[in-house]
């Protein structure tokens, strides 16, 4: 049987290894999300504002119908893009979000 110091060293190494593994997994997730976002941007890059809005409505309505759309997701989208919108666009977004919520 080992002593307490050996036990603590092993526990600390296990903790360190788990943290390193979690950090690597988080980096992989972040990289995957960045790639996914870049692909999404490239897919919608050439669309007009009305085409983008139509695509957003179509996607959110599908998720709503499937039961996979969450209020927290809508709020997150709103918080993310709101700072980049003009007052008119903010009003349009709010109207669209209300429409999606009430369907």
- Compute the chain's Rg from CA coordinates: 22
Dihedral (CA of 57, 85, 68, 46) sign: positive
Backbone angles phi, psi at 69, to 5 degrees: -90, 130
pLDDT tens-place values along the chain, 103 residues long:
556 566 555 655 555 555 555 556 666 777 776 777 677 767 777 878 788 778 878 888 888 888 888 888 888 888 888 888 889 988 988 988 888 888 7
Q: Which two tokens stand for residue 76?
A: 């997150």
Distance between CA atoms of 25 and 87, rounded to whole angstroms?
A: 39
């Amino acid at each position: 049987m080992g002593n307490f110091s050996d036990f603590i060293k092993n526990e600390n190494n296990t903790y360190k290894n788990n943290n390193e593994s979690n950090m690597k997994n988080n980096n992989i997730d972040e990289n995957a999300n960045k790639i996914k976002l870049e692909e999404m941007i490239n897919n919608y890059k050439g669309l007009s504002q009305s085409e983008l809005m139509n695509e957003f409505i179509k996607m959110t309505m599908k998720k709503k119908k499937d039961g996979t759309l969450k209020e927290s997701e809508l709020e997150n989208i709103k918080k993310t893009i709101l700072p980049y919108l003009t007052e008119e666009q903010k009003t349009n977004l709010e109207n669209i979000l209300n429409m999606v919520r009430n369907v």
